[in-house]
Chains A and B, each alone.
Chain A
Amino acid sequence: MYDTYTQENQRDFAARYCDTFGWLIDEKRNNKRLVYLAETDGDHLYFYSQLGGVKQHTIAGAGVMFEFIPVDHGWFKADNGAIYLLTRVPARQWKRGISRSNTSITGITGNNVPVNFEVMSSIFNEKNPQTYTYSSARPIALSKHFAIDAKKNVFFYDSLIGTEDNGIITLKNNHVLQELQDLVRRKKLPLEIKVG
């Protein structure tokens, strides 16, 4: 959903989007970047972006466009090497951007991760395209569905399905064998899969 801050929608905009994350549409650079919409004071909308994390503002009616889309469910890699399982939370709330109340982030060790600027910007930034691949780094996300942790456990979302050792994934059963084989074939991952 696209929205822009105007004189007419000040109250609605503040209620829906303040204290949430969205994307600032940068038409000059033909891209969009993650922003945290902090507050409004009538004429101004204040937000933080990944450009140095400084507080910026736009004036009501300036036509600056924001996009508000929820996260996809799945594994995402951060630029610091961590991987996170993002999930939407269908709880009652008014916030339409990504917020603490409608998004859950879980680390590969099962820990709850706060939905804050540091974490969000480490996941969604231009230098960190969410292209899934395979390497010796651990943890690693193979796709939105599958990930391997530092102990070489293989997860299907948050469900433990097997282990990996030297490029050989041993599944506990053949439940998602087909899907993993498809993933390896499509992405040409140097992985062998067998059922233990």
Chain B
Amino acid sequence: MAKPLTIARLFGRRNPTVYTVETSLLGKFADDKGPDPFLLYGVELEIENASSDWTVDGMQWKEDGSLRNEGLEFITQPMHYTTLSRCLSTFFETELDSDNYSERCSIHVHANCLDMTLQQVTTLLMMYQTFEQVLFHFIDNNSNPSWNRQQNIFCVPWSETQLTFRALQEMAEGNYHLLHRWQKYTALNLIPLGTQGTIEFRHMGGTNDLTYINMWLRIIGHLFRVAKSYEFDFIKSRLVNLNTTSQYDAILDFVFAECADSLRTFGYHYCLENGVLNLKYALAPTADTLGSMAASERREAARQRNRQWVEAQVPNGANPVPFGGAGELLRRAPPIPLGVFDEAERIVEAVGGLNVNIRRADDLLRRIDERVAARRQDILDATINGTQAPVPQFNWTPDGRWIAADFPRNEDR
């Protein structure tokens, strides 16, 4: 049986070295393994008026250009919830106050996805898309009111952009470059998925409230727990069918368990209603969008212009044939002598010479076959009638290709 395609295999990453401490040292933290005991966290604490001396075991510090007033970023090594709780508890024994935090400060939580399949991560992101506004309400209700994190330019909600979890679905279809186009300053940043195998929750503002931080870590843990435990289709069907207050309550309990009550902030029904709508937007087919329709209209307008140009070049009485690709080739060229197009390679070369999209070669071949068959009939008719079919003229291009004599070259257009 084939190994499941995990994020680690997909991006060729190894699992990180996990920071652990002896169980005896965990003390009161040992019993609480968090919602997902296997989930590895990495937390970045941005603090101003900070000292590197505050660093504790399992943590490093570095300077951060986005901070001021001797701001530092304290970064925990990859560790499980139990160890992280202990690490943060030790760190926050240092007395910090409002002088250490400004709207510039944030707490970023990286959560490891290396052991997850692409579909599990997609499930996770689909849930995130639905609950995003609920999560932001939780964050804003517990932060300094003047720091409104939803309006912050460093953690823009997905719901305010046109970015959706669909990017992961498209990645599953092989479009890995999509991750490169992702924006770092989204509330849930997917860029580290390709570089470290993590996703980064950038929602939380700077705080020394350990209960609040731990609750946030648990909320994230629950998203991972559910994503790893249930199939994509099961979660999707539960989410898209949410439309009553009782269902909103039930889904919060189902996903966030003991943390659900913390998320039941004022107006959370409205947030979930919007979340479901955002999810449906993400699930909507991508073919018919304003952008694609506009592009399609632009293409049609260009075709019209080209058609008019070609029409202007054609002598009166010439047979109109569909514009574009082989149609144009055939319409511009006099009848094609048999044998000219009898080799597929030469056809493709001709297509290249005419600067037509090579992917249309199949269509070209079909049309040329039809044209050749018609030509064959013409020659047969001419033979029967004792007349001679006209011989077409071709020119050689400077790079050794041939084109119909009156076919417009790019530079002529």
Quote the shortest CB–CB distance from A161 to chain B (angstroms). 7
**Beta-carbon contact of B290 and A155 below 8 Å:** yes
A110-B293, A160-B289 given; A90·B243 CB < 8 A: no
Give min CB distance, B295 to chain A, whole Å.
8
Q: How far is the CB of A45 from chain B (nearest CB, A)?
A: 21
Output the residue of A85, A110, A178, A179 with the most chain B CB within 10 A: A110
Can you spell out 9 A-B residue pairs with CB atoms less than 8 angstroms apart? A87-B162, A88-B160, A92-B184, A92-B185, A102-B153, A110-B297, A159-B286, A160-B289, A176-B284
Residue of B nearest to A85 (CB): B290
Pairwise interchain contact B284-A161, C-beta atoms closer than 8 A: yes
User: B163 contacts the other chain (Cβ, under 8 Å)?
Assistant: yes
Least CB separation from B189: chain A residue: A90
Q: How far is the CA of A155 from the CA of B297 in the complex (A)?
A: 17
**Does B291 lie at the interface of the complex (its beta carbon under 8 Å from any beta carbon of A)?**
yes
Complex Cα distance, B161 from A59, in Å, reads: 36
Tell me whether A157 is interfacial, beta carbon within 8 Å: yes
Q: How far is the CA of A161 from the CA of B283 in the complex (A)?
A: 12
Q: B281 contacts the other chain (Cβ, under 8 Å)? A: yes
CA distance A124 to B244 in the complex (A): 34
Q: Are B290 and A158 in contact (CB under 8 A)?
A: yes
Q: B159: CB under 8 A from chain A?
A: yes
Task: Name the CB-closest residue of A to B147.
Answer: A1
Known contacts A88-B161, A90-B161, A110-B294: A70-B151 contact under CB 8 Å: yes
In the assembled complex, which residues on chain A have CB atoms less than 8 Å from the CB atom of B153? 70, 90, 93, 95-96, 102
Give residues in A with beta carbon < 8 Å to B: 1-2, 69-70, 72-73, 85, 87-93, 95-96, 102, 106, 108-111, 145, 155-161, 175-176, 178-179
Query: Nearest Cβ in chain B — how far from A180, in angstroms?
Result: 10
Partner of A73, one of B160, B286, B290: B160
Nearest CB to that of A178 among chain B residues?
B243
Give the chain B neighbours of A69 by CB distance below 8 A: 151
Cβ–Cβ contact A91 & B185, under 8 A: yes
**Contact check: which of A1, A70, A108, A179 meets B290 at CB < 8 Å?**
A108
**Which residues of the other chain, A, contact B161 by a CB distance below 8 angstroms?**
73, 87-90
- Bound complex: CA A175 to CA B290 (Å): 18
Which residue of the partner chain B has the closest CB to A95?
B153
**A residues less than 8 Å from B288 (CB atoms):** 159-160
B258-295 near A? 1/0 per residue, CB < 8 Å: 00000000000000000011001101111011110111
* CA gap between A95 and B152 in the complex, in Å: 11
Are B151 and A91 in contact, with the CB atoms below 8 A? no
Taking a contact as CB atoms under 8 Å apart, the answer to whether A158 and B291 are in contact is yes
Question: What is the CA–CA distance of A145 and B280 in the complex, to the nearest angstrom?
Answer: 11
B129 is an interface residue with CB less than 8 A from chain A: no
Bound form: Cα–Cα A145–B277 in Å: 9
